[in-house]
Amino acid sequence: MKTDLIKYELNNKIFTGYLAIPGEGKYPCVLIAHTWAGRDSFVEEKARILAESGYAAFAIDMYGEGRIGTSNEENASMMQPLLDDRDELARRVSSAMDSLKHHDNIDMNKVSIMGYCFGGLVALDLARTASELRGAVSFHGFLAGPENSNNDSINARILAFHGELDPMVDQNQIDSFTKEMNQKKADWQLHTFGDAMHAFTNPDANDPDFGTVYSQTADRRSWKIYMDFLEEIYK
pLDDT averaged over every residue in the chain: 97
**pLDDT score at 152:** 87
The three-state DSSP-derived secondary structure of 169-219 is CCHHHHHHHHHHHHHCCCCEEEEEECCCCECCCCCCCEECCCCEECCHHHH
Using pLDDT thresholds of 50, 70 and 90, give the confidence band for residue 189: very high
Using pLDDT thresholds of 50, 70 and 90, give the confidence band for residue 151: confident
Tens-place pLDDT, residues 88-119: 999 999 999 999 999 999 999 999 999 999 99
Phi-psi region of 117 (alpha: psi -120 to 50; beta: other; left: phi over 0): left
**Rounded distance, CA 208 to CA 168, Å?**
12
**Rounded distance, CA 222 to CA 132, Å?**
25
Tens-place pLDDT, residues 161-185: 999 999 999 999 999 999 999 999 9
How do 135-139 and 206-207 pair as beta strands?
unpaired
**pLDDT score at 149:** 72
CATH of domain 2-233: 3.40.50.1820
Q: What is the pTM of this model?
A: 0.97
Q: What is the mean pLDDT of residues 119-127?
A: 98
